Amino acid sequence: MRKIFVMTLALVLALASCSFADVKIGAGIYRFNDAFMLRFRNAMTAESGKLGATIEIADGRDDQPTQDAQIDGFLSGDVNVLIVNLVDRMAAQSVVDKAKSANIPVVFINREPSLEVLNTYSKAYYVGAKAEESGVFSGQLIADYFKSHPEADKNHDGKLQFVLLRGQNGHQDMILRSKYSVETIRDAGIEPVELAGAIANWDKLEAMKIMNAFIMSIGPENIEAVIANNDEMALGAVEALKAQDYNAGNPEMYIPVVGVDGNASALEAMDKGEMLGTVLQDAENQGAAAVRLALALAEGRDVNTIGYPITDGKYIWIPYQKITRGEKQ
Amino acid sequence: MAETKSRSKRLMTTGGLIFLALGVILYFAKEPMGLNRKIYDLPVFLIIIGICFAVKGFMAKDKTEEEAALAGKTFTEFLTNNAILIAMLVLVVVICILQPRFMQIRVALDILTQSSTKLIMALGICFALLIAGTDLSAGRLVGLAAVISASMMQTATYANRFFPDLPQVAVWIPIVAAVVACMVCGALNGFLVAKYEMHPFIATLATQVMIYGACSLYFDMPPNNSQPIGGIRPDFAQIGQLRLFSGLWKGFPGISILIPISIVICIIIWFILNKTVFGKNVYAIGGNREAAVVAGINVFRNIMFIFILASFLYGIAGVLEAARTAGATNNYGNGYETDAIAACVVGGVSMSGGIGKVGGIVMGVLIFTVIQYGLQFINVSPMWQQVIKGVIIAVAVAIDLTKYRRK
Amino acid sequence: MSEYLLEMRNITKTFPGVKALDNVSLNVRRGTVHALMGENGAGKSTLMKCLFGIYEPDGGEIFLEGKKASIHSARQAMDQGIAMVHQELHPIRFRSVMENVYLGRFPGHMGVVDHKTMYEKTKALFEDLELDVDPLALAGEQSAAILQMMEIARAVDMKAKIIILDEPTSSLSDREVDHLFKIINRLRAQGVAFVYISHKMKEILEISDEITVMRDGTYVGTWPVTAENGEKLTIDFIIKQMVGREMTNQFPPREGKPSDEIVLKVENVSSPLPKSFQNVSFELHKQEILGIGGLVGAQRTEFVEALFGLRGIASGEILLNGARYSNKSPGYAKSRGLALLTEERRATGIFGILPILENTVIANQRNYAHLGVLNDSRRKSDADTECRKLNVKTPSLNTLIQNLSGGNQQKVLIARWLLTNSDILILDEPTRGIDVGAKYEIYNIMLEQIALGKSIIMISSEMPELMGMSDRIMVMCEGRVTGFLNKGEYSQEKIMAFATQFAGRKDSTAA
């Protein structure tokens, strides 16, 4: 990987470094206040700095009309290419239409538009991770733990009784992560039983409140695993468990909790043994890929030379990584 | 007349004793009868309720004739006046049937814990309501206090520290910093309201926006760049997470430190409102501001103090919230002010000023938390929870107003 | 057709703990002015609120033109030809006069207001009533008298058959009262009936045809003002019916004389506003009652408010017991021994939703506090003693003050200022809207305070009160002091001459 990267960098620098100084990227992020998107932003800034391009990043404040206005601003300004992290996936078509009429390429990141939308414009691409993969990985984390720790089957029925903390309603990551984590457990030969599930909107406080209600109404002794769609919610669940002396060092009182993202706080919680594992979404490579793709599009160069493989002519998929205790990078 | 009062007393005492007896019987019967998993701690609750009623009935003062006439209401009037309370009790019974685990002491303690920060918020906001105002900045001040205190209270080894070079300072320093920051914002609120006679709605709306912006700027400072603050030091987290008397007997979860904290604050606020010149002035300014001026009350100073004291409480709530959840973002506290106002209003605080009691606010907060908690407990959809919450507010205020407007 | 336009038969209304009306009847003939009299708390307002649909009576019946009427809201009352002009008017201040007149029934179609028609109708209406007011002027800029006429105009336009006037002249000057009476006479000739509530005996004898007297929520009787034999009712007779006893003296006897010691010296004090008080100078002696007379708009209230620190002054000097006094704030005035009983009891005096206890001690809290913490038992005992001394009629100190009659509210307010032990009491219309019995009690309190060595400044618009109580009278006109009268030289004519010194000279205010 590193080799390819260095080679590409050298190639890119040799070919077009002088002209990148004139390329300006306009990037719209759905919300700055999001741990994962922060890492994403940092990666994009670093990459464009390295390649000598300028990048302007706008905070969509979790509001699509705000983001629309920011994109309009970019298009009427002097940007050569757009990178868009949509607030609302349904707004993809209008963004594509705007970009198309201005003849400016657009790279979507993190929140995936449908293929039909991408197909309406030759210069529309998507860089991200396959959401189902994160679901598969978090399912594997739980299934592996269950198999290697027979005492985790607290009621010895051979089934896995779990609770599920979901992200924002209708969010594609929420749907796919929830679906594939459960399916993976089943594929591993363990029957999953969902005791309860609720939408906690990716939020720590909300997840803490909901988890607390689950602990009280179901009883912690009956819960065998907690699957959360992201790390913040997993951490909320951990706080609620800790308040009942669970996951606080006593092996008799432990419920495995898994999240997705690989936040610093999640890694710390894993170090302390409060959380079982997480699935790291590779923000650094995603950010780099998005910037490089954007620059290639802006320059009109062949997109297959940027060092990340293009799938189906529209996508760059960056794989996830499983992380458990002690495997921290 | 004498007969009715003794009858109500007797009814209360005997009712209490029946509850007490039932509780004791169940307590000893539940093990042999195998009811343990069906009624949980119900006997203990029955015993507590029974003792409360019996003592209240026994201690009840003989009412004067006038009070008796006023209190001598019909049954339907009793129902309407206490509709929200009754609705809550019905809900509790329904939940207990659907999910017997609700009848646990740890659930009751949990409800009290969850009420604690809400109560502190409500006690702060009631001052603004008492002078016929409101305080929209309350929630954002919670966020500000949470972010400031959490940002200085991270472990040395945490990867993403807010201040990478900050030494491990004493716990009180960030708390004071957070609360003082809130009080400065409160002073701004007070100044706008008192000096320019701005309506508190507008003044606090302006500061709310300012505070959120400033808090977000602070939160977005490199190297944090808007990341949720984590890696909270355990000694700080203890302020919100410590449990007293845990393990006093087997299975006793302990009493969250938040409960005694909020009780102490409750007593202090009760004292301030009822026993100090300042408290009386608050009621007077709310009752008739012009008359208060004529009576020689320094309205400017009192209003300043109202908003500073209120934001002191929001600051405390924010610090506790950060400690309890061992983390903070600039979105903490978002919308807390509406919940606090709603709880105050359900607890009988008048939006037109001058009317409101600490006891009522405690009731309002408890009713709200029990209903919210209960609905979550039986996994009612959050959307339905919202609908029900709205209905409660509307019905509670409607009942309250008809009480005053009865022809 | 029935003999009476309106018959209220055996109306009964109970409030928690109080029987406000007990079998009260009221019969009003077409084209007459029917005075409704009684002490405050006698139930006049309650009876009128029952008629106007604000209260629902517990018993009794109301007949209009011989037919049983059912009135459950003000709207229904208005639809059936009953209009009410309240004592305290609450116009929509930032809308025009005409919009106020047509409020709730704007002319127009399908929700679109026809402003032209509204303007013309209002203008015609005002011309008919000889009112010189621009329909487009803002209501908030009009005097109380104009607003009252505006309400009457509204009633006339709604073809009201009965107009209830509640204390219509309480804030009007004599000239304005004359104008009001002219309008009443004209409408009476057209067959409109009036129910006229007032405490002013002379006015009532002048304007009304019949008088109904109420006492303590009961009906006392109805008499024609001029009997068939031409004999007129006397004031003494009416008072006797109202209070249920003979009232020989309207004012208690004054004993002793003011001392020579000067407690307050005001020199050339002027308001920053050119139309308000200018160059006011006077001296107040110890144990003196200084009356301030004048017409509405003489800026008397504004002046005493400035003295108490509620308004600013631009120039002049005030000496209090020989030392300079600056009118920084009411709190400071209080600390220097001044007390102000304001004219608008409801707006700037009482805290309606608070109990009597709080209302009594509010200005004196600091004396009960140690480091901001109050001593409850001393508050209670002080309030109790003072309210007893002033004979406040209430079931307990915990009763809300808004449930008391006007006279008792006023006594509580006086108690409030007596507790601060002030040396100079400024009383602005101390007996406005108060019944005869309570008035006498308040006069007694004033004299007691004088005997204790205090001094009083009293603003009054009632000539008998001004002349009966003052040791000296200062008269103001359009913001300036126009004369002083010493005891012995009082007469209504002299006071009126001073009070109208500038009236008619349009340029006088600009000077």
Contacts of A213 (CB under 8 A, 6+ apart): B373, B376, B377, B379
DSSP C324-377: E-----HHHHHHTTEEEE-S-HHHHT--TTSBHHHHHHGGGGGGGEETTEE-HH
Same domain, A220 and A302: no
Interface test with A, best of B98, B102, B215, B227 (most A CBs within 10 A): B227
Same domain, C163 and C72: yes
Burial group, residue B97, by CB count within 10 angstroms (0-12, 13-18, 19+): exposed
**CB-based contact (8 Å) between B276 and chain C?**
yes
For chain B, how many residues are written? 407
- The pLDDT of residue A5 is 55
- In this complex, which chains have at least 3 CB pairs below 8 Å with chain C? B
Domain final residue pick, C243, C268, C283: C243
Same domain, C211 and C295: no
Distance (Å, whole) CA B236 – CA B170 = 9
* B289-314 per-position pLDDT tens digit: 889 988 889 999 999 999 999 999 99
The answer to whether residue C390 is domain-embedded is no
- Please give chain C's pLDDT, 511 residues, in tens: 578 899 999 999 887 656 788 899 999 999 999 999 887 667 888 899 899 888 889 889 999 998 998 888 888 898 899 998 887 777 887 888 888 888 877 888 777 888 888 999 999 988 888 888 888 888 888 887 888 888 888 888 888 999 999 888 877 777 888 888 998 999 999 999 999 998 778 888 889 999 999 987 889 999 999 888 878 888 888 878 887 755 556 788 888 889 999 999 999 999 998 888 999 999 999 999 999 998 777 889 999 999 999 999 999 999 999 999 999 999 999 999 999 999 888 888 899 889 999 999 999 888 898 888 888 899 999 999 999 988 888 888 988 898 888 888 999 999 999 999 899 999 999 988 777 778 888 999 999 999 999 999 999 887 888 888 999 999 998 889 999 999 888 887 888 888 877 754 433 333 3
- Output the domain CATH number for residue C12: 3.40.50.300
DSSP 8-state class, residue A200: -
Amino acid at B69: A
Same domain, C304 and C172: no
Domain final residue pick, C243, C260, C286: C243
Same domain, A193 and A296: no
Same domain, C166 and C273: no
The answer to whether residue C327 is domain-embedded is yes
The token duo for C308 is 């108490």
Contacts of C258 (CB under 8 A, 6+ apart): C285, C286, C287, C288, C289, C455, C471, C472
- The pLDDT of residue B63 is 54
**CB-based contact (8 Å) between B295 and chain C?**
yes
Q: Could you tell me which chain B residue has the CA closest to the CA of A238? A: B325
The answer to whether residue C193 is domain-embedded is yes
- The pLDDT of residue A171 is 82
Across the beta sheet with A81-84, what order do the strands follow? A54-59, A24-29, A81-84, A106-109, A124-128, A315-317
Which of A239, A265, A268 has the CB atom closest to B228's CB atom? A265
The token duo for C478 is 């359009």
Same domain, A119 and A194: no
Q: Would the CB atoms of B294 and C342 count as touching at under 8 Å?
A: yes
- At A125, is the pLDDT very low, low, confident or very high (cuts 50, 70, 90)? very high
pLDDT exceeds cutoff 80 at B34: no
- At A130, is the pLDDT very low, low, confident or very high (cuts 50, 70, 90)? confident
Task: Give the 3-state secondary structure of residue C168.
Answer: coil
**CB-based contact (8 Å) between B281 and chain C?**
yes
Beta strand spans in B111-250 (E): 243-244
Q: Pick the range with the lowest mean pLDDT from B10-19, B27-36, C409-418.
A: B27-36
* Greatest mean pLDDT among A312-316, B137-141, C87-91, C467-471: B137-141
The answer to whether residue C62 is domain-embedded is yes
pLDDT exceeds cutoff 80 at A9: no
Interface test with A, best of B325, B339, B370 (most A CBs within 10 A): B325
The answer to whether residue C72 is domain-embedded is yes
* B340-388 per-position pLDDT tens digit: 999 999 888 988 888 899 999 999 999 989 988 898 888 888 888 889 8
Distance (Å, whole) CA B26 – CA B43 = 6
How far is CA C422 from each of CA B64, B395, C289, rounded to the nearest angstrom? 37, 48, 15
Percent with pLDDT over 90 in chain B: 44
Q: Would the CB atoms of C329 and B288 count as touching at under 8 Å?
A: no
Same domain, A50 and A171: no
- Rounded to the nearest angstrom, the minimum Cα separation between B267 and chain C is 14
How far is CA C378 from each of CA B274, B292, C369, rounded to the nearest angstrom? 15, 21, 10
Burial group, residue C202, by CB count within 10 angstroms (0-12, 13-18, 19+): exposed
Contacts of A142 (CB under 8 A, 6+ apart): A160, A162, A181, A185, A225, A227, A256, A258, A276
- Rounded to the nearest angstrom, the minimum Cα separation between B255 and chain C is 32
Q: Could you tell me which chain C residue has the CA closest to the CA of B268? A: C373
* Number of domains present in the structure of chain A: 2
The residue-averaged pLDDT of B96-122 equals 90
- Rounded to the nearest angstrom, the minimum Cα separation between B172 and chain C is 27
The answer to whether the CB of B369 falls within 8 A of the CB of B114 is yes
The answer to whether residue A105 is domain-embedded is yes
Amino acid at A291: V
Contacts of A106 (CB under 8 A, 6+ apart): A81, A82, A83, A84, A95, A96, A99, A121, A123, A124, A125
The answer to whether residue A325 is domain-embedded is no
Task: Give residues 61 to 100 of B whose Cβ lies within 8 Å of A.
Answer: 99
Distance (Å, whole) CA B324 – CA B240 = 4
The answer to whether residue C228 is domain-embedded is yes
Task: Give residues 49 to 68 of C whose Cβ lies within 8 Å of B.
Answer: 55-56
pLDDT exceeds cutoff 60 at A18: no
Q: Would the CB atoms of B287 and C308 count as touching at under 8 Å?
A: no
Same domain, C235 and C259: no
The two counts, helices (H) then strands (E), for chain B are 18, 2
Give the up-direction half-sphere exposure of residue B96: CA atoms within 13 A in the CB hemisphere: 18
Q: Tokens 């779990």 correspond to what residue?
A: A162
The token duo for C122 is 């209002």
Q: Would the CB atoms of B291 and C348 count as touching at under 8 Å?
A: yes
> Which residues of chain A lie closer than 8 angstroms to B329, CB-CB?
33, 204
Q: Would the CB atoms of B332 and A243 count as touching at under 8 Å?
A: no
The answer to whether the CB of A77 falls within 8 A of the CB of A97 is no
The answer to whether residue A326 is domain-embedded is no
- The pLDDT of residue B236 is 94
- Output the domain CATH number for residue A24: 3.40.50.2300
Distance (Å, whole) CA C493 – CA C489 = 11
Handedness of CA B130, B136, B137, B142 (dihedral sign): positive
- The pLDDT of residue B33 is 73
How far is CA C70 from each of CA C25, C50, C57, C60, C199, rounded to the nearest angstrom? 16, 11, 11, 11, 30
Distance (Å, whole) CA C2 – CA C4 = 5
What is the domain extent for residue C471?
Answer: 251-337+425-433+461-505
Strands C67-69 and C59-64 come out as antiparallel
**CB-based contact (8 Å) between B106 and chain A?**
yes
Domain final residue pick, C243, C271, C302: C243
> Which residues of chain B lie closer than 8 angstroms to C52, CB-CB?
none
Q: Which residues of B310-323 are buried (b: 16+ CB within 10 A; e: fewer)?
A: bbbbbbbbbbbbbb
Same domain, C315 and C295: yes
- In this complex, which chains have at least 3 CB pairs below 8 Å with chain B? A, C
Task: Give residues 300 to 319 of C whose Cβ lies within 8 Å of B.
Answer: 308, 310
The answer to whether residue A122 is domain-embedded is yes
Say if A and B touch: at least 3 Cβ pairs within 8 Å: yes
The answer to whether residue C467 is domain-embedded is yes
- Rounded to the nearest angstrom, the minimum Cα separation between B253 and chain A is 7
The answer to whether the CB of B92 falls within 8 A of the CB of B103 is no
Distance (Å, whole) CA B45 – CA B108 = 10
> Which residues of chain B lie closer than 8 angstroms to C354, CB-CB?
283-284, 287, 354
Q: Could you tell me which chain B residue has the CA closest to the CA of C364? A: B295
How far is CA C40 from each of CA C16, C36, C354, rounded to the nearest angstrom? 19, 12, 21
Q: Tokens 């987290």 correspond to what residue?
A: B237
What is the domain extent for residue A249?
Answer: 132-280
The answer to whether residue C388 is domain-embedded is no
Same domain, C326 and C475: yes
Interface test with C, best of B1, B270, B294 (most C CBs within 10 A): B294
Same domain, A109 and A168: no
Same domain, C237 and C276: no
pLDDT exceeds cutoff 50 at B238: yes
How far is CA A217 from each of CA A162, A205, A227, A240, rounded to the nearest angstrom? 14, 19, 18, 13
* Number of domains present in the structure of chain C: 2
pTM higher than 0.80: no
Task: Give residues 80 to 119 of C whose Cβ lies within 8 Å of B.
Answer: none
Task: Give the 3-state secondary structure of residue C311.
Answer: coil
- Rounded to the nearest angstrom, the minimum Cα separation between B99 and chain A is 7
**CB-based contact (8 Å) between B248 and chain C?**
no
How far is CA A52 from each of CA A21, A24, A58, rounded to the nearest angstrom? 5, 10, 20
Q: Tokens 């709530």 correspond to what residue?
A: B317
- The pLDDT of residue C381 is 93
For chain A, how many residues are written? 329
Same domain, A112 and A15: yes
Same domain, A7 and A33: yes
Angle (CA) C56 C58 C64, round 5°: 60
The answer to whether residue A327 is domain-embedded is no
- Rounded to the nearest angstrom, the minimum Cα separation between B297 and chain C is 6
Same domain, C182 and C308: no
> Which residues of chain C lie closer than 8 angstroms to B271, CB-CB?
373
> Which residues of chain C lie closer than 8 angstroms to B354, CB-CB?
351, 353-354
> Which residues of chain B lie closer than 8 angstroms to C342, CB-CB?
294
Percent with pLDDT over 70 in chain A: 92
- The pLDDT of residue C24 is 92
Same domain, C286 and C152: no
The answer to whether residue A324 is domain-embedded is no
Same domain, A274 and A144: yes
- Rounded to the nearest angstrom, the minimum Cα separation between A265 and chain B is 5
The answer to whether residue A34 is domain-embedded is yes
Q: Tokens 């390429």 correspond to what residue?
A: A105
Q: Could you tell me which chain C residue has the CA closest to the CA of B130? A: C353
pLDDT exceeds cutoff 70 at B67: no
**CB-based contact (8 Å) between B332 and chain A?**
yes
Same domain, C64 and C177: yes
Same domain, C87 and C172: yes
